[in-house]
Amino acid sequence: GENVEQHPSTLSVQEGDSAVIKCTYSDSASNYFPWYKQELGKRPQLIIDIRSNVGEKKDQRIAVTLNKTAKHFSLHITETQPEDSAVYFCAAWQGGKLIFGQGTELSVKP
Amino acid sequence: NAGVTQTPKFQVLKTGQSMTLQCAQDMNHNSMYWYRQDPGMGLRLIYYSASEGTTDKGEVPNGYNVSRLNKREFSLRLESAAPSQTSVYFCASSANRDNEQFFGPGTRLTVL
């Protein structure tokens, strides 16, 4: 079935360290993989996305990598800052729908 | 541009009551979506409308109905609310199906 697994569910890092969140998907035909950030009490907002014809994409301190063979993709945040603290969701376009992972609560300690 | 708007922001219902959640977007997007968000379960798709005049079931459609009133508006109806429908509901829209989705501010619904 359509499934996106996300790990870890919680992640705590020191300010300035890197954070990595990993997701796996089930449908080999998936072609679009966005990442959303949701601050407490607010709506999810897109931070970066990648399509299946690209292996890596960067935007300042954020990068996403995609391994189509293994059906997994990852979010990398470098030089973390306290304002990066939030819940992050991966998603994969599968079966004509966007399927979300369960979320990772990232805490950046000053 | 207001983006995606939702009403109401908060609602408390008794079991068995009905209500409609309203959603509108002013970005001329073709596709619209309704999600529910529960702790530890991410965002789950209830229904979606790929284009005006069409609607399809998502992952968790039971107990809900939708109407794509026009290109701008997409409503979600609970005919007979149950405590299991206590959740935060988000509406979203995108230009086309596998494009960035823009979310509304959410509706926090409690069913007693």
A96 vs B contacts (CB less than 8 Å): 50, 56, 97
Residue A79 above 80 pLDDT? yes
What residues have CB less than 8 Å from A70, skipping those under 6 apart? A24
Sign of the dihedral through C-alpha B97, B35, B67, B70: negative
Beta bridge partners of B108: B10, B88
Angle, CA of B53, B86 and B68, to the nearest 5°:
10
Mean pLDDT, to the nearest integer, of A78-88?
Answer: 97
> CB-hemisphere CA count at 13 Å for B40?
0
Q: A3 touching B, CB under 8 A?
A: no
Q: Kindly list the residues from chain B whose CB atom is less than 8 angstroms away from the CB atom of residue A97.
A: 45, 48, 58-59
Q: For residue B39, what pLDDT band results from cuts at 50, 70 and 90? A: confident
Q: What is the rounded average pLDDT for all residues in chain A?
A: 94
The confidence band for B42, taking pLDDT boundaries of 50, 70 and 90, is confident
Enumerate the residues of chain A whose CB falls inside 8 A of the CB of residue B104.
43
Distance from CA of residue B51 to its chain's centroid? 15
Per-residue pLDDT, A53:
84
Asked whether residue B50 carries a pLDDT value surpassing 70, the answer given is yes
Work out the mean pLDDT of chain B and round it to a whole number.
95
Instruction: List C-alpha distances in Å: A1 to A4, A9, A92, B47.
Output: 10, 22, 13, 18
- Give the integer Cα–Cα distance in Å for A28 and A8: 23
Residue A19: per-residue pLDDT: 98
| Residue whose tokens read 């702790």 | B39
How confident is the model over B83-99, as a mean pLDDT? 94
Instruction: Render pLDDT for A19-73 as a digit per residue (tens, 0 to 9).
Output: 999 999 999 899 999 999 999 999 999 999 999 888 999 999 999 999 999 999 9
CB contact under 8 A, B58 and A6: no
Q: What is the per-residue pLDDT for B77?
A: 98
Res A2 pLDDT > 80? no
- Note whether B42 contacts A89, CB cutoff 8 Å: yes
Structure tokens given for B7: 């009403």
| pLDDT band per the 50, 70, 90 thresholds, residue A1 | low
**CB A108, CB A82: distance < 8 Å:** yes
pLDDT at residue B1 tops 80: no
